[in-house]
Copies of this chain bind each other. A is one copy, B any other.
Amino acid sequence: MASASGRRPPADKYDERRRAIAESATRTLGELGYARASLREIANNSDFSHGVVHYYFKDKHDLIVYCVRELKTVCVRRYDGVVADSRTPDELVTGFADELADTLKEEASMHRLWYDVRSQSMFEERLRDVATEIDGWLEQMIWRIVSRYAELAGAEPALPPSVLYGILDGLFQQALIAVTRGHDGALDELRELVHQLLPTMIRPSLTT
């Protein structure tokens, strides 16, 4: 694309820098939450000055929206491999449950941040659009998983996407809260629960 010389097109470097700042900011946001993470605190916990943050992001809202969107873009693709590679229903359920428990353990603070932002979006109109958008991504993600699961089982989903998402999101959130409160067994309980619940979310296909 661009020349192989040392200088890159400014747009690339600009985006790269934004990403680096946002990545660092996301860590602080995940630890302190949306409200208590000030721009200075975010800058102090990184290699950037508080001025450079404002140089690359219009304001705090701009930064947070960028962080959450980036964060969830990755999160939503986490199960693509399982969906694509599973050859049996059980394999898919196990893969899904394991990934779920794994992200719950390894990326707990990122999930806390998401639920925090989504809660705030009910009070701040400026957050509403991005929250709606990401909720849509997550609903589609769940739908891909369940409908593929049904397909492998020669069945079809028994509930609409929004309901499946609401149920699994609620259970995941409860597990996240339990983990945050120090209840370590929540990981295994969530895994087992997924095994128990997914079969009840499909029904024999009418066609074929």
* Contact pick for A163, options B132, B176, B180, B193, CB 8 Å: B193
Q: Which residue of B lies closest to A197 (CB)?
A: B163
Number of interface residues of A (CB under 8 A): 38
Interfacial residues of chain A within 117-150, with CB under 8 A of chain B in the complex? 118-124, 128, 131-132, 135
Which residue of B121, B131, B135, B176 contacts A122 across the interface (Cβ within 8 Å)?
B176
Q: Which residue of B lies closest to A189 (CB)?
A: B162
Q: With A128-B181, A166-B174 known to touch, is A32 a contact of B123 (CB < 8 Å)?
A: yes
Whether A35 sits at the interface, judged by CB under 8 Å, is: yes
Interface: A115 (CB within 8 A) = yes
> What residues of chain B lie closer than 8 Å to A31, measured between beta carbons?
123
A195 → B minimal CB distance (Å): 13
Q: Are A33 and B123 in contact (CB-based, < 8 A)?
A: yes
Q: Does A171 contact B (CB under 8 A)?
A: yes
A86 in the interface (beta carbon within 8 A): no
Find out whether the CB atom of B176 lies under 8 angstroms from the CB atom of A166: no
A169: interface (CB < 8 Å): yes
List A34-91 residues whose CB lies under 8 Å from chain B: 34-36
Q: A167 at the A/B interface (Cβ < 8 Å)?
A: yes
Cα–Cα distance between A33 and B124 once the two chains are bound (Å) = 9
Known: A132-B181, A177-B135. Contact between A33 and B170, CB under 8 A? no
Q: Which residue of B lies closest to A37 (CB)?
A: B123
The interface bits of chain A over 80-109 (1 if a CB of B lies within 8 angstroms of the residue's CB, else 0) are 000000000000000000000000000000
Residues in B whose Cβ lies below 8 Å from that of A171: 163, 166-167, 170
If the complex has contacts A166-B170, A166-B174, A167-B167, are A115 and B123 also in contact, measured as CB distance less than 8 A? no
Excluding A121-B177, A167-B171, A169-B174, 17 further A-B contacts by CB distance (< 8 Å) are A33-B120, A34-B35, A36-B123, A112-B119, A112-B123, A116-B119, A116-B122, A116-B123, A122-B176, A122-B180, A132-B181, A135-B177, A169-B173, A170-B170, A170-B173, A173-B173, A200-B200
